[in-house]
């Protein structure tokens, strides 16, 4: 397929945007109500943790105290937080608020040579003060909260914070009564000047975007990002006077991150979680075959081996979601890092999905246009991008992880996508063999691939003659699609709650 010049320019920008991870004083914000000091709570592994009320004011936090201070809700500057969702949260019974969190973070240093088994040991290195921000989306009525808070490592591949996993799983999060917290864990999301952002020069980090609101944030560097992510989790468990969860507490605390966030979350899972013991379950979405160094560099190197699995001695569940793109398109290939499913590790490799796709980028475009001047126009290429059901897969993945933590019931298992000689094996239609199956690839009207247009994949529609020969007419197609959908729902890879919407989209997409 020939790609028009304008389309090619946008695709090149998307390569820079999504193909790899970028490298990545205490403040009293005017207009905020108060601050609170939070002491560390010990996390449980598969049962809801207890919440401590024993908090006390500490004027100068130290690493030994391991405290975090919440300030907010933040209302200064331009009046809205960066990364605010365009979803009408009020209509869904939700509120969105922003808080600052301050403390003293530690960096980590590797102990010994790290192996591909992921059993990575560390020691504490330096300490440094930090003040970063979190975004909170929670039920307005605390009684609607389901007890699970999902903490996302915000992605900064574009040099600004983006909430990828919230977008993908937003339907399950909002209908299910979850609380979502996005963490500005990395420095460039705070300090980015727009020069290197593929979204355009108007896509600025927090401080340049709204200096009045964010001018007092302090980030000591990505070597401290792992402990910042831990401290946010600890603080959410045991809040003081200022409670971002409005008194609802935490029964289950889940960590999630996509792409660059997933690379870092693998390192966090293998090197930090075993001793920090913060999160009850971890969702690693679209990683490559390795992690990233403790020093915070973008990609594998230093102490991190080229291939790394999830360590097998964890006492919390880890759920990996992999698209076709993630197998060979993100630098270090994923297949050498494959490992058997166990009572603590699950991996879904999903046929027909791309690392990023039309669903996500359409919503990113809406969000970006609202908050940044001259945001990259994606409208011309959305129709060519992969249109697989990644959002519905992520809805199912989140519910399974929550149930796994709460009840001990693991997600269903699936074989990996079939590969050979560094390539995905495909059927006569060009769709991948093996992996998690959906009706979108088993009753296809297009080739859905994670390859082709960089990390956004492609949707290559079948012609009318092919569709007529295969299905006869739209009714024939929809009947076969619905039958395959029911099989997939029964297997647990899609949710019955999404069945009606999936069928409606299938009808809409049939030419």
Q: What are the residues facing 473 on neighbouring strands? A: none
pLDDT in tens, 242-274: 999 999 999 999 999 999 999 999 999 999 999
Number of C-beta neighbours around residue 140 at 10 A: 13
Q: What are phi and psi of 117, to 5 degrees?
A: -80, -5
Taking the C-alpha atoms of residue 226 and residue 489, their distance in angstroms, rounded to an integer, is 36
Per-residue pLDDT at 3: 39
pLDDT in tens, 132-164: 999 999 999 999 999 999 999 999 999 999 999
Q: How confident is the model at residue 381 (pLDDT cuts 50, 70, 90)?
A: confident
Q: Is the bond into 73 cis (omega within 30 degrees of 0)?
A: yes
The answer to whether residue 496 sits within a structural domain is no
- CA proximity to 183, closest of 107, 296, 83: 83
The answer to whether residue 261 sits within a structural domain is yes
The answer to whether residue 114 sits within a structural domain is yes
Strands 148-153 and 252-258: parallel
Q: What are phi and psi of 276, to 5 degrees?
A: -70, -35
- The answer to whether 393 and 360 are in contact (CB under 8 A) is no
Whole domain around residue 390: which residue ranges? 5-40+50-407
pLDDT in tens, 103-141: 999 999 999 999 999 999 999 999 999 999 999 999 999
Number of C-beta neighbours around residue 34 at 10 A: 10
* Residue 461 pLDDT exceeds 90: yes
CATH classification of the domain holding 126:
3.40.50
What is the secondary structure of 373-396 as a DSSP string?
A: TT----TTTGGGS----HHHHHHH
- CA proximity to 387, closest of 338, 350, 435, 440: 440
The answer to whether residue 16 sits within a structural domain is yes
pLDDT in tens, 343-380: 999 999 999 999 999 999 999 999 999 999 999 888 88
The answer to whether residue 446 sits within a structural domain is no
* Residue 223 pLDDT exceeds 70: yes
415-450 burial, b at 16+ Cβ within 10 Å, e below that, comes to ebbbbeeeebebeeebbbeebbbbbbbbbbbbbbbb
- The answer to whether 220 and 105 are in contact (CB under 8 A) is yes
Report which DSSP code applies to 95.
E
Taking the C-alpha atoms of residue 304 and residue 229, their distance in angstroms, rounded to an integer, is 20
Mapped onto helix, strand or coil, the DSSP state of residue 226 is helix
The answer to whether residue 451 sits within a structural domain is no
pLDDT in tens, 269-314: 999 999 999 999 999 999 999 999 998 766 666 899 999 999 999 9
Taking the C-alpha atoms of residue 404 and residue 306, their distance in angstroms, rounded to an integer, is 30
Taking the C-alpha atoms of residue 26 and residue 100, their distance in angstroms, rounded to an integer, is 10
Distance set, CA 452 to CA 83, 318, 324, 329 (Å): 29, 30, 11, 10
Q: What are the residues facing 133 on neighbouring strands? A: 100
Taking the C-alpha atoms of residue 174 and residue 504, their distance in angstroms, rounded to an integer, is 20
* Residue 333 pLDDT exceeds 60: yes
Per-residue pLDDT at 35: 44
Per-residue pLDDT at 225: 98
Q: Out of 292-301, 439-448, 490-499, which region has the weakest mean confidence (pLDDT)?
A: 292-301
The answer to whether residue 463 sits within a structural domain is no
The answer to whether residue 159 sits within a structural domain is yes
Q: How confident is the model at residue 479 (pLDDT cuts 50, 70, 90)?
A: very high
Structure-block tokens of residue 7: 């389309």
% of the chain with per-residue pLDDT over 70: 86
- CA proximity to 511, closest of 461, 437, 476: 461
* Residue 487 pLDDT exceeds 90: yes
Write the secondary structure of 403-428 as one string of H (helix), E (strand) and C (coil).
Answer: HHHHHCCCCCCCCCECEECCEECECC
Structure-block tokens of residue 435: 């992996």
Average predicted confidence (pLDDT) for the chain: 88
Q: How confident is the model at residue 59 (pLDDT cuts 50, 70, 90)?
A: very low
User: What's the number of domains the chain is made of?
Assistant: 1
């Amino acid at each position: 397929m020939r790609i028009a010049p304008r389309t090619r320019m946008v695709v090149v920008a998307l390569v820079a945007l999504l193909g790899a991870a970028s490298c990545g004083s205490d403040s009293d914000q005017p207009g905020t109500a108060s601050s609170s000091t939070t002491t560390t709570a010990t996390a449980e592994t598969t049962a809801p943790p207890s919440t401590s009320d024993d908090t006390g004011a500490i004027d100068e936090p130290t690493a030994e105290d391991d405290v975090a201070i919440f300030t907010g809700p933040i209302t200064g500057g331009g009046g809205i937080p960066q990364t605010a969702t365009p979803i009408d949260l009020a209509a869904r019974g939700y509120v969105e608020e922003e808080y600052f969190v301050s403390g003293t973070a530690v960096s980590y240093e590797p102990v010994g040579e790290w192996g591909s088994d992921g059993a990575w040991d560390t020691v504490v290195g330096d300490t440094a003060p930090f003040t970063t921000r979190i975004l909170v989306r929670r039920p307005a009525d605390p009684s609607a909260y389901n007890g699970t808070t999902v903490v996302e490592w915000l992605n900064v591949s574009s040099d600004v914070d983006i909430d990828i996993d919230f977008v993908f799983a937003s339907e399950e999060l909002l209908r299910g009564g979850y609380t979502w917290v996005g963490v500005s864990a990395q420095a460039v999301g705070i300090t980015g000047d727009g020069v290197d952002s593929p979204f355009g020069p108007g896509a600025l980090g927090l401080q340049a975007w709204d200096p009045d609101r964010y001018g007092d944030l302090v980030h000591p560097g990505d070597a401290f990002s792992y402990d910042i992510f831990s401290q946010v989790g600890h603080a959410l468990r045991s809040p003081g006077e200022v409670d971002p969860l409005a008194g609802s507490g935490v029964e289950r605390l889940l960590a999630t991150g996509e792409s660059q966030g997933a690379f870092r979350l693998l390192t966090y899972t293998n090197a930090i979680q075993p001793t920090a013991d913060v999160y009850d379950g971890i969702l690693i979405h679209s990683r490559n075959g390795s992690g990233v160094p403790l020093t915070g560099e973008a990609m594998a190197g230093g102490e991190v081996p080229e291939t790394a699995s999830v360590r097998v001695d964890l006492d919390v569940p880890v759920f990996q979601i992999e698209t076709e793109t993630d197998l060979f398109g993100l630098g270090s290939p994923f297949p050498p890092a494959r490992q058997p499913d166990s009572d603590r590790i699950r991996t879904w490799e999903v046929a027909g999905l791309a690392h990023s796709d039309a669903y996500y980028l359409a919503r990113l475009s809406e969000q970006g246009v609202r908050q940044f001047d001259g945001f990259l126009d994606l409208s011309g290429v959305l129709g060519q991008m992969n249109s697989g059901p990644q959002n519905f897969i992520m809805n199912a993945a989140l519910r399974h992880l929550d149930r796994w933590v709460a009840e001990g019931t693991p997600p269903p298992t699936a074989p990996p996508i079939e590969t050979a000689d560094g390539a995905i094996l495909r059927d006569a239609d060009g769709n991948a063999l093996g992996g998690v199956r959906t009706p979108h690839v088993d009753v296809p009207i297009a080739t859905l691939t994670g390859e082709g247009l960089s990390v956004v994949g492609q949707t290559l529609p079948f012609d009318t003659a092919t569709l007529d020969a295969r299905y006869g007419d739209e009714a024939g197609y929809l009947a076969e699609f619905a039958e395959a959908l029911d099989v997939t729902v029964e297997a647990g890879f899609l949710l019955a709650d999404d069945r009606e919407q999936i069928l409606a989209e299938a009808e809409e997409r049939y030419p």
